[in-house]
Amino acid sequence: MAGNFKRFDPARVPSPCYVIDLTKLEDNLKLLQSVGERAGVEILLALKAFSFPGAGDLIGRYLSGTAASGLYEARLGRERFGGAVHTYAPGLSAANIEGILEHSDHVILNSLHQWQRFQGQLQAASGVDFGLRINPEHSEVAQPLYDPCAPWSRLGVPADAVTAEDLAPFEGLHVHALCDHDFDAFDRLLTAVEERCAHLFGAVRWINLGGGLLITEEDFPVDRLVERLQAFRERTGLKVYLEPGTAVALHAGALVAELLDIAENGAAIGILDASATCHMPDVIEAPFTPELIGATALPRGLAASEADDLTMRLGGPTCLAGDVVGTYRFETRPQIGDRLVFLDLAYYTMVKNTTFNGTPLPSIATWDARTDTVEIVKTFGYDDFEQRLG
């Protein structure tokens, strides 16, 4: 979905550069706020997906707070995004527990053992609610790398291993089992949660149903989601939280890259100043091929012998043989020096980048599609690389 980025001039920013479309971001936030108000639920931003502080004030105007994955995200949520901070981390240590308590309103534990280990500090914390992560043992995620309910998962306590008495120290439950899913997957998950966790509902007052739901996708059935959440609240009497990540920044980010060179090895190969492994690692981990304006993504297993004059495989500047973004058929064959715009590379992309091979980090810019205003928010240089490892 190219959306507004078809109107964006990539020559207006450095290369490589992440560009955040503030107009689309705000549209997403307005929709999420509406869902929260209509369904009577609280919606948080999952910082693990999109922790861009430059959008903190905007996000804080529409959402109830943030969901953090540890001390640093909790502090960022408190200082730059506003609202409540809900923190969950699979591992807690004596070194970070006090900081997490200081910056959090809700702290969700991964096991009953964590409560036992830190009970004194947790009970002494003022104004902090505690929850327990429950594994409903219901898998919707096809890729094992992203499935929190896969066998032998380290995330949460199996629902049937917890009793209502175990929940005496806790105010709520946390369930997260989706990854970029549609409504039907959420509906099945919620049914499983109601079946497998019903024995626990009377012992708590809230439940966090996690994220991974593509609420802001164009064809998402918002009304069905609202009705489902309303009915769940009425049946259980629980306060409900959602913590979307992808849905907040969906279709609101792009990555601008420059074509540095074109080589031939059976077919055309374009070398970019942006790297899959450094700047968009989910392209390799998921894997997937990002949409590119002016081109059509081709199957990842396409052979060079199947390529034509408009086909080009694009890769990064690192020494990793697999640093490949994808293979594309272009409307017009690109030339060295051209700027290319890859779509939907904000969520789970900006937060994961690295400087492997000494590859510079992309700059960060915002673009307001309504006013066509561009602001270069952040650039990175040698010091960012050198100081990262001391």
Give 143-201 pLDDT, tens digit per residue.
889 999 999 999 999 999 999 999 999 999 999 999 999 999 999 999 999 999 999 99
Tokens (6 digits) for 331: 């409307």
What's the DSSP call for residue 79?
I
What pLDDT is recorded for position 390?
A: 85
Segments of the chain assigned E as strands: 17-21, 42-46, 65-68, 84-88, 106-109, 129-135, 157-158, 172-174, 206-208, 239-242, 253-264, 268-272, 295-297, 311-315, 324-330, 339-343, 363-368, 373-378
Q: Helix or strand or coil: residue 264?
A: strand
Among residues 220, 159, 234, 219, the alpha carbon closest in space to that of 187 is found at: 220
Largest CA distance in the chain: 68
Binding residues for substrate: 282
Q: Which residues contact 285 (CB under 8 A, 6 or more apart)?
A: 145
pLDDT exceeds 90 at position 4: no
The CATH code for residues 3-19+253-345+353-388 is: 2.40.37.10
123 has pLDDT over 70: yes
pLDDT confidence of 30, banded at 50, 70, 90? very high
pLDDT in tens, 307-362: 999 999 999 999 999 999 999 999 999 999 999 999 999 999 999 999 999 999 99
**C-alpha dist (Å) from residue 298 to 149, 267, 282, 358:** 32, 14, 17, 30
pLDDT tens digits for 34-48?
Answer: 999 999 999 999 999
- Residue 91 burial by CB count (10 A; 0-12/13-18/19+): exposed, middle or buried? exposed
Nearest partner of 178 among 207, 220, 136, 216, judged by Cα: 136
Q: What is the pLDDT of residue 3?
A: 74
What dihedral do alpha carbons 180, 231, 88, 387 form, nearest 10°? 40
Do 278 and 355 contact (CB within 8 A), yes or no? yes
Mean pLDDT of 4-8: 94
166 vs 388, higher pLDDT:
166
Tell me what pLDDT residue 39 has.
98
Grade residue 1 by pLDDT with cuts at 50, 70 and 90.
low
Q: Where are the domains of the chain?
A: 3-19+253-345+353-388, 40-249
The answer to whether 287 and 301 are in contact (CB under 8 A) is no
Share of the chain above pLDDT 90, in %: 96
User: What is the CB neighbour count within 10 angstroms for residue 184?
Assistant: 11
- Classify the C-alpha dihedral 210-213-216-222 as positive or negative: negative
Q: Does residue 389 have a pLDDT over 90?
A: no
Q: State the pLDDT at residue 298.
A: 97
Band of residue 18 on the pLDDT scale cut at 50, 70, 90: very high
**CA-to-CA distance for 191 and 250, rounded, in angstroms?**
26
Contact assessment for residue 20 and residue 365, using Cβ atoms and an 8 Å cutoff: yes
Angle at 72 between CA 69 and CA 77, to 5 degrees: 80
pLDDT > 70 in the chain, percent: 99
- What is the CATH code for 40-249? 3.20.20.10
> What pLDDT sits at residue 329?
98
Please give the annotated binding residues, written as ranges: 282
Q: How many CA atoms lie within 13 A of 362 on its CB side?
A: 31
